[in-house]
Amino acid sequence: MPNFWSDPVGFLIQWLTNLLTGLGLSPELVKFLLAFLGAALLPLMAMLFVVFLIWYERKLYARMQDRFGPNRLGPWGIFQTFADMGKIFTKEIITPAGVDLIPFNLAPILAVGAVLLVWAVMPLAPRIVGVDLSVGLIFVIAAGGFGELAIMLAGWGSNNKYALLGGFRAVALLLSYEVPMVIAMLIPAMLAGSLNLVEIVASQDVPYLLLAPVAALIFFITQVAESGRAPFDLVEAESELVAGYNTEYSGLKFGMFYVAEFLHAFTSSMLFVTLFLGGYRGPFANEFPLLGLVYLMVKTFIVYFVTILFRGALPRFRIDQMLDLNWKVLTPLILAMVFVTALVDKIVVQAGGPLLVRTIVLFVVNMLIFWFSSKLLQRNVRPPRRKVSVQRPLATANVTPSASQGQDNLSA
Amino acid sequence: MTPLQIVFLIVTVATLISAVMVVSARRMLHAALWLILSLLGIAVLFVTLETSFFAIVQVMVYVGAIAILIVFAVMLTRRDIQDRDKVTNRGAWAAALAALGVAGGLVGALTGWQAFASIRPELAADSAAEGTRIAQLGMALVSPDAYAIPFEVASVLLIGALIGAIYVAGERK
């Protein structure tokens, strides 16, 4: 019987197997039931976690805007999300006339499903992972494709011009930002030598943030864009497009899009931590896997904090600014990074350099390319405006004594 | 009946039904969605063959890029959401005859294949062996005495298509 602290999943499986075979079920049925239970439990935990996430984000976003956030229901407003859930569950589900029922109803399901699929391959702790998939990294990319499909189906199925337009803009944005995202994801795979997420975490003796900072930055920016969050939230800009592709959804279907957006932001923060910050690594994580889970959560919340900071601090981009940023800045930069990283990494590793030399060389090369590209970009920055006139003197209330004496009509 | 056979039968039936619905759905968007389902069925068949890399790449390329492009094209060219076209045209019977002929020819050619009776070689299914197989695929694609030239020709073809698309869609000054 494995110890609970050193192998929690093994312990639970052994205990449940003993319990169920003691009740008289056959071993194959027990194995199937346990696999099914594991597969059902992981997304359930993720969805229940969203309740906390929504409260956390609303409070933090509010504090960044110098206001309190929800503080009526319960101490610090912790029951606000439950109230929101009650409202969304009990709203009338209105299906507008003329909608195409299959895309209209399929879209919220696909939107949430695409995000939950990523949790299946995420390494949560040293021996706790949903599926140890050898191609976990491109599984994540493939699951992202379902999310884009969901947005297009939502925009089309709503029988609404504004929703359709919002859907097109959203998909243009998502497809464009997928290009640098995929290439930036390749760099940790190159450095680790494998597409398996568990192996990428296991080979991060030095976090890949130090070995590939430019790729980490580009990955972070593209993940913020892929989640449709500010400053890239043109797709649901309330003042511009009513509500974009989810205009016609009411009740629980809108709730699904809402949950999908928050969970996507958290999941992409977790992916960033797994790829660039070392995932569950930390002191004593191998002996006590639950400690690894704690480290993963702490690091993910740090990255999530930065995501919310982006949302609270930056104004929204225009669609042409977003696409310019993607195709003119991010894509060439990440392509250059891939070439240089592959070249430099292989040279250093072939020459037999130790880890410290590899780290320093890659870091210096990254910083050089970043400095060089920012120099190139500064040539395109708008120059400061030429002064065309001097500011005219304004009439103020500070009247000087000499002037008042000359113009005072009441003096004798 | 092993569970693998049951899964294979279910997935095959679903893929074939989706493929038939692609050509016989009334609304084009529904046909595109049935196409996505049949492509996912092919990906599951790759998984039953224990090549997870091809399954994932099938989903990523076909569903994540090509199917989205098809859906995009359908949405941009349909006038409204409710259109129902006629599913067949004048050449429907000739097409059915040709399809039956091709199917019959394939079945006839494959019934004499010897490999149906042999046992499939067992592929090591653990993660490290899969990683080695992917590494071998990568080496095969770029080594000069393997498949480097077809690889480069395919990439030149893609660049040509990209330049052509930019030219066709670009603004005429």
Reported as a single tens digit per residue, the pLDDT across B140-154 is: 888 888 889 999 999
What confidence tier does A240 reach under pLDDT thresholds 50, 70, 90? low
Query: Which letter, b or e, does each residue of A158-193 get, where b requires 16 or more Cβ atoms within 10 Å of its Cβ?
Result: bbbebbbebbbbbbbbbbbbbbbbbbbbbbbbebbe
A-chain residues within 8 Å CB-CB of B26?
Answer: none
Q: Would you call A194 and B131 a contact, using CB atoms and an 8 Å cutoff?
A: yes
Task: Give how far Cα A365 sits from Cα of A77, A219, A350, A369, Å.
Answer: 48, 18, 17, 6
pLDDT exceeds 70 at position A242: no
pTM of the model: 0.87
- CB within 8 A of B170, min separation 6: which ones? none
- Half-sphere exposure in the Cβ direction for A130 (13 Å, CA): 19
Considering only the top CATH level, what class is B1-79?
mainly alpha
Q: Are A230 and A316 in contact (CB under 8 A)?
A: yes
pLDDT of A244: 66
pLDDT of B127: 66
Most confident segment among A166-170, A221-225, A397-401, B108-112: A221-225
Question: Chain A within 8 Å of B36 (Cβ-Cβ)?
Answer: yes
The total domain count for chain A is 1
- CB within 8 A of B121, min separation 6: which ones? none
Calculate the average pLDDT of chain A.
85
Closest chain A residue to the Cα of B54, Cα to Cα: A135
Question: Chain A within 8 Å of B50 (Cβ-Cβ)?
Answer: no
Treating both helix axes as pointing N-terminal to C-terminal, what angle do A27-64 and A101-119 enclose, rounded to 10 degrees? 100
- Half-sphere exposure in the Cβ direction for B69 (13 Å, CA): 6
What confidence tier does A127 reach under pLDDT thresholds 50, 70, 90? confident
Instruction: Please report whether residue A70 resides in a domain.
Output: no
Reported as a single tens digit per residue, the pLDDT across A9-42 is: 888 888 888 888 888 878 788 888 888 888 899 9
Q: In whole angstroms, what is the distance from residue B27 CA to residue A270 CA?
A: 40
Q: Are A30 and A21 in contact (CB under 8 A)?
A: yes
Q: Are B54 and B27 in contact (CB under 8 A)?
A: no
Calculate the average pLDDT of chain B.
85
What confidence tier does A215 reach under pLDDT thresholds 50, 70, 90? very high
Task: Give how far Cα A67 sits from Cα of A45, A53, A109, A307, A376, Å.
Answer: 31, 19, 34, 19, 40
What confidence tier does A241 reach under pLDDT thresholds 50, 70, 90? low
- CB within 8 A of A172, min separation 6: which ones? A319, A323
Reported as a single tens digit per residue, the pLDDT across A372-399 is: 998 888 887 777 777 777 777 777 777 6
pLDDT exceeds 80 at position A116: yes
pLDDT of A177: 92
Instruction: Please report whether residue A36 resides in a domain.
Output: no
Closest CA to A376 of A403, A316, A336, A409: A336
Position of tokens 């097409």? Answer: B95
Burial, A61: exposed, middle or buried (Cβ in 10 Å; 0-12, 13-18, 19+)?
middle
pLDDT of A33: 86
Name the residue among A102, A133, A194 with its Cβ closest to that of B52.
A133
A-chain residues within 8 Å CB-CB of B67?
Answer: 149
Closest CA to A124 of A264, A301, A294: A294
pLDDT of B171: 73
Written as one string, the DSSP assignment of A206-245 is: S-HHHH-HHHHHHHHHHHHHHTT-TTSGGGG-HHHHTTGG
What confidence tier does B111 reach under pLDDT thresholds 50, 70, 90? confident
Closest CA to A147 of A165, A130, A170, A163: A170
Q: Three-state DSSP class for A62?
A: helix
B-chain residues within 8 Å CB-CB of A141?
Answer: 60, 64
Reported as a single tens digit per residue, the pLDDT across B81-109 is: 566 667 777 888 898 899 999 999 998 88
Q: Domain segments of chain B: what residues? A: 1-79, 127-173
Q: In whole angstroms, what is the distance from residue B86 CA to residue B26 CA?
A: 7
What confidence tier does A298 reach under pLDDT thresholds 50, 70, 90? very high
Q: What is the ipTM of this complex?
A: 0.84
Domain that includes residue A170, residue range: 95-378
Lowest mean pLDDT among A110-124, A160-174, A351-365: A160-174
Instruction: Please report whether residue A195 resides in a domain.
Output: yes
Name the residue among A102, A142, A198 with its Cβ closest to that of B56.
A142
- Half-sphere exposure in the Cβ direction for A175 (13 Å, CA): 19
Q: In whole angstroms, what is the distance from residue A39 CA to residue A41 CA?
A: 6
Minimal CA separation from B172 to chain A, in Å: 19
Most confident segment among A100-104, A155-159, A244-248, B66-70: B66-70
Reported as a single tens digit per residue, the pLDDT across A48-87 is: 999 999 999 999 999 999 998 888 888 888 899 899 889 9
Closest CA to A317 of A235, A259, A397, A201: A235
Q: Left (φ > 0), alpha (ψ -120 to 50) or beta: where does A69 sit?
A: left
Q: Which residue has the higher pLDDT, B85 or A367?
A: A367
Q: Which residue has the higher pLDDT, B78 or A252?
A: A252
Q: Which amino acid is at A290?
A: L
Q: Left (φ > 0), alpha (ψ -120 to 50) or beta: where does B123 sit?
A: beta
Q: In whole angstroms, what is the distance from residue B134 CA to residue B52 CA?
A: 10
Q: Is the dihedral of CA B22, B27, B32, B33 positive or negative?
A: negative
Most confident segment among A119-128, A153-162, A269-278: A269-278
Interface probe, candidates A110, A134, A179, chain B, greatest B C-beta count within 10 A: A134
Query: Strand A128-129 and strand A123-125: pairing?
Result: antiparallel
Name the residue among A99, A132, A145 with its Cβ closest to that of B68.
A145
As a whole number, mean pLDDT of residues A86-111 equals 87
Instruction: Please report whether residue A301 resides in a domain.
Output: yes
The two tokens of residue A143 are: 């699951």
Reported as a single tens digit per residue, the pLDDT across A188-203 is: 999 998 888 999 999 9
Closest CA to A180 of A216, A227, A218: A218
pLDDT of B173: 62
Instruction: Please report whether residue A54 resides in a domain.
Output: no
What confidence tier does A407 reach under pLDDT thresholds 50, 70, 90? low
Reported as a single tens digit per residue, the pLDDT across B38-81 is: 999 999 999 888 888 889 999 999 998 899 889 888 888 876 65
Bond from prior residue into A70 cis (ω within 30 degrees of 0): no
pLDDT exceeds 90 at position B28: no
Strands (DSSP E) along B13-171, which ranges? none
pLDDT of A295: 92
Minimal CA separation from B55 to chain A, in Å: 9
Q: Which residue has the higher pLDDT, A363 or A100?
A: A363
pLDDT exceeds 70 at position A173: yes
The two tokens of residue A236 are: 């649901």
